[in-house]
Structures are given as structure tokens and as C-alpha cells.
Chain A
């Protein structure tokens, strides 16, 4: 199975900050990489698919980059509603494993 490793596991930041979360795959997954946001007690929501494509309705402050084994999710200017846990997920080969998550907290 492909292992997905996110860093950091947790992050404290302030509104207005630029934040970068990284995700590394244990083998090349081309651009088969998705990002999700999950707020406490809520259902996960798709943010980015195919490594760089913004899902419909997602604010443009979110962006994704990378290919192969290394990927990043960038939030250009944190808003209060962005404090949540973020997960990467590979859809290259089953099982479509998730990273362990990055919890973004208010500083």
C-alpha cells in the first residue's frame, strides 16, 4: 500500500498568515492527489483534486502543487473559518490512502 505522510501534524497560526502543509507519498503517484478539510464534528469537504485543481466553490486562497511524491497545500491568507484538520489522499492505486492529517489551530 502507498503510505502518505503529512507534515506538520499540527500547526498554530494567526488569521492572515500564509500556511503550507506538505504531503509525501511513499512512491510516485503522478498527480493523483486530493486534499480535504474537516472541521470538528463535521463531514470532510473536498478542497483540491488532481494535485492542483480547485474544487467548485472553494475559495481561491487555497491552492495545491506538486507531482510525483511531494505535494503542498497552501492557504495564502488564513481566515477564521480555515481552522480545521486537513488531509491529503492518493487516488493512484487502491487502497486510496489518506495522510494522518494536519490540525491547524489558532495561535
Chain B
């Protein structure tokens, strides 16, 4: 069964750091771009970052640039999100998703999602 499972969410103080993990199973991680999406309480979906198949390219939303780092370990079937200098506005459920980005084509959307892990930034 194709699955993604996030972990690492926690309560953290403003200015703190956290590392989220996403374990992939049932498919070969190295064949797919991967994305992090977040959802603040009662709000809509926000695209956070994505990473190319081999980790050679990363893209971020402006609000997290310089603070968050997306990475992957294809050998371990894992995706990560290192979050530094956390702010109250980073409080959200964080989802990892398998992304059907295929350069020079229309791609096929984010077709597999994890259940999410909750990050709360508060003193």
C-alpha cells in the first residue's frame, strides 16, 4: 500500500527549531518530487516547499525562506523539513505529499498525502 507518515510535530517556543520527518512506503521515493503543505487552524491549505527527485533543487514559499529547509534521503525513503526561527504563524498541521511534478509536462498533482503532524509555536 502506498503511504506517507509524518512525525516530529510538537509544541515549541517562538524562535525554536523542529525537524519533521515523512516516511514513505509502497513506492520508490526517488521517482517523485515531494512537497510539504501546511494548514493553520481553521484556515486553508498553504504550499510550503518542494524538492526534486534527487534533492538537487528546492523551492520555498517566501514566508519560510531562510528559516525552513526541505531535504530527502531516498535510501531511507524519507523526507524532512527542518524548521528554524519558528514563529506563532507557523502553527499548523504539516502534510507531506507525493507530487506529480514532471518538468515540461502538466504533471499530475499531489496524489498521495500523509495524515499530518501538528506543530504549535507558543510560549
Residues of A within 8 A of B (CB): 1, 30-32, 34, 36, 38, 43-46, 48-51, 53, 55, 85, 87, 89, 91, 94-101
Report A-chain residues with C-beta under 8 Å of the C-beta of B115.
43
Count of A-B residue pairs with CB < 8 Å: 74
B48 vs chain A, min Cβ distance (A)? 8
Cross-chain contact B107 with A49 (CB below 8 angstroms): yes
Cross-chain contact A95 with B60 (CB below 8 angstroms): yes
Cross-chain contact A49 with B47 (CB below 8 angstroms): no
Interface of A is mostly: loop
Report B-chain residues with C-beta under 8 Å of the C-beta of A50.
106-109
5 A/B residue pairs, CB under 8 Å, sorted by A: A34-B109, A46-B109, A50-B108, A91-B106, A95-B60
Report A-chain residues with C-beta under 8 Å of the C-beta of B1.
none
A82 to B123, CA, bound (A): 39
Smallest Cβ-Cβ distance to B113: which chain A residue: A43
Report B-chain residues with C-beta under 8 Å of the C-beta of A101.
44-45
